[in-house]
C-alpha cells in the first residue's frame, strides 16, 4: 500500500472487506492521555489505508452506540483499566464484534502482574522475585528478603504509573502508599541489575528485541512518553543467537497467558545473562515513542501497514479453537 497513492488506498479491496471499524481509545483509566495519542495515530493510519474507521471513546460515548453502530470490527487502542483488562473485550464478545489483541482471560491475566507471575512460575518461565505488599506488611523484612533496591508497583496499572524504585527500606512504606493510591493490589519486585529489553509480538512471530536505556532511575512514565534522552537500541546489541533465544522465550511467555493477535513482552537480562520476564502488554502504545511500531519499522513494516495488519488479525476469541491453548503449553 503506497502512501503516495491515496486513491488506491481508498478503493483497496482488502480495506473494504474489513467493513466499518471502530477505533476505541481514550477511556477512563489513568493512561487516558497515552491512549488518546495512540488511538489518534491508529485512526489516521487506518483511514490512510482506506479503512472505514471511526473514533469511539468509551468515556464519552455509550457502549450501546457501539452495539448499534453497525461496526464489523474494533481496533482496541485503550490502555489500562476497562480497556486492557478484559472488560471491553468481554463487552465486544457479547456484541459479536471481532476485536484486536487478546481475549478476556488473557487480557485480565496480563493486566494483573501478580497473577501473571504466579502463572509464569507454575510453568517454569523465569520472573523477578516478588512479594505482595499490604498496609500491615513488615516493610523492613520485605526489603531484607528481596534486597535493595527494589521496585514497587500497582499490580494492575501500566505505563509505570504509580511505580517507584526504592533504595532504602525506610522509603518502602511511602512507595507502597503511592502505588496503593492507584490499585488495592501492590507488588514489590526485586530490582534486576542488567539490561532492559522489550519484544513485540505480531501474529505468531516475535519482532526484533529493543534495548532500552534511560538516564532516569528507571524506565518511568516520563522516560516512556516525554523524555528525549531515552535511547532505544535497535538492533539490541546481543549476539544473534542470544537474541533469537530471547525472542522465542518472549513468545512462550506471551502464549502461556493465552495471549494472541499482538502485544509486547518486557524483560530484564542480568549481568550474568539470566533472563527475567516482567510483564506482557496486550494493547501496547502506538505513539511516536512506542516500541512495537519501532520494531516493526526496523523489519520494513511501516506504521500504516502495521495498524492494518493488526486490524486484519481481529477476531472473536470465544469461538477460537483450542489450538492456542495447546501451543501455549510449556514443558
> How many Å is the maximal CA-CA distance in the chain?
65
Task: Name the catalytic one among 35, 160, 185, 281.
Answer: 281
Catalytic residue status for 225: yes
Note if 243 is an active site residue: no
Inter-CA distances, 49 with 3, 102, 260, Å = 8, 23, 23
Active-site option among 26, 86, 101, 285:
285
Question: Of the listed 101, 266, 290, 304, which one is catalytic?
Answer: 266
Q: Is 242 a catalytic residue?
A: no
β-bridge pairing 205-213 and 194-202:
antiparallel
- Asked if 264 is an active-site residue, the reply is yes
Residue 41's CB is within 10 A of a number of other CB atoms, namely 22
Q: What is the DSSP string of 98-164?
A: -BSS--HHHHHHHH-HHHHHHHHHHTT--B--EEEE-TT--HHHHHHHH-SSEEEEETT--TTTT-E
Do residues 225 and 289 touch, judged by C-beta distance below 8 A? yes
Catalytic residue among 176, 219, 221, 225: 225
Closest CA to 219 of 154, 160, 285: 160
Query: From the candidates 37, 102, 159, 290, which is the catalytic residue?
Result: 159
Whole-angstrom Cα distance, residue 22 to residue 14?
17
Residue with cell 472473536: 316
Tell me if residue 31 is catalytic: yes
For β-strands 130-133 and 52-56, DSSP reports them as unpaired
Q: Which residue out of 183, 243, 279, 304 is catalytically annotated?
A: 279
Task: Give burial (CB, 10 Å; 0-12/13-18/19+) of 62.
Answer: exposed
Q: How far is CA 124 from CA 45, 100, 145, 325, in A?
A: 39, 28, 21, 16
Residue linked to cell 461496526 = 71
14 given a catalytic annotation: no
CA-based nearest residue to 221, from 273, 165, 280: 165
The active-site residue, picked from 9, 26, 29, 31, is: 31
Which cell numbers in the block locate residue 241? 543467537
Catalytic annotation present for 217: no
Catalytic (active site) residue 232: no
- The residues annotated with a catalytic role in the active site are 31, 159, 225, 264, 266, 279, 281, 285
Amino acid at each position: 500500500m503506497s502512501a503516495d497513492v491515496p486513491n488506491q488506498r481508498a478503493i483497496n479491496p482488502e480495506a473494504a472487506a474489513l467493513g466499518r471499524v471502530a477505533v476505541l481509545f481514550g477511556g477512563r483509566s489513568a493512561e487516558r492521555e497515552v491512549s488518546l495519542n495512540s488511538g489518534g495515530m491508529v485512526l489516521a493510519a487506518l483511514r490512510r489505508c482506506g479503512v472505514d474507521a471511526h473514533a469511539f471513546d468509551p468515556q464519552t460515548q455509550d457502549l450501546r452506540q457501539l452495539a448499534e453502530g453497525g461496526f464489523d470490527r474494533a481496533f482496541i487502542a485503550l490502555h489500562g483499566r476497562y480497556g486492557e483488562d478484559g472488560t471491553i473485550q468481554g463487552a465486544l464478545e457479547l456484541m459479536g464484534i471481532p476485536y484486536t489483541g487478546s481475549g478476556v482471560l488473557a487480557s485480565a491475566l496480563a493486566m494483573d502482574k501478580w497473577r501473571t507471575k504466579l502463572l509464569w512460575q507454575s510453568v517454569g518461565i523465569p520472573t523477578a522475585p516478588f512479594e505482595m505488599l499490604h498496609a500491615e506488611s513488615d516493610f523492613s523484612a520485605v526489603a531484607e528478603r528481596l534486597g535493595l533496591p527494589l521496585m514497587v508497583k500497582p499490580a494492575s496499572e501500566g505505563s509505570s504509573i504509580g511505580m517507584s524504585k526504592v533504595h532504602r527500606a525506610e522509603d518502602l512504606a511511602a512507595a507502597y502508599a503511592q502505588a496503593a493510591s492507584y490499585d488495592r493490589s501492590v507488588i514489590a519486585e526485586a530490582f534486576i541489575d542488567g539490561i532492559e529489553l522489550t519484544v513485540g509480538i505480531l501474529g505468531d512471530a516475535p519482532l526484533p528485541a529493543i534495548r532500552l536505556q534511560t538516564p532516569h532511575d528507571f524506565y518511568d512514565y516520563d522516560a516512556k512518553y516525554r523524555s528525549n534522552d531515552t535511547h532505544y537500541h535497535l538492533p539490541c546489541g546481543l549476539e544473534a543467537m542470544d537474541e533469537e533465544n530471547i525472542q522465542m522465550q518472549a513468545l512462550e511467555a506471551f502464549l502461556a497467558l493465552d495471549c494472541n493477535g499482538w502485544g509486547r513482552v518486557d524483560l530484564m537480562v542480568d549481568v550474568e545473562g539470566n533472563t527475567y520476564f516482567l510483564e506482557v502488554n496486550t494493547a501496547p502504545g502506538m505513539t511516536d515513542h512506542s516500541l512495537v511500531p519501532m520494531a516493526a519499522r526496523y523489519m520494513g513494516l511501516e506504521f500504516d501497514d502495521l495498524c492494518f495488519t493488526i486490524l486484519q488479525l481481529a477476531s472473536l476469541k470465544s469461538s477460537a479453537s483450542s489450538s492456542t491453548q495447546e501451543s501455549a503449553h510449556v514443558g
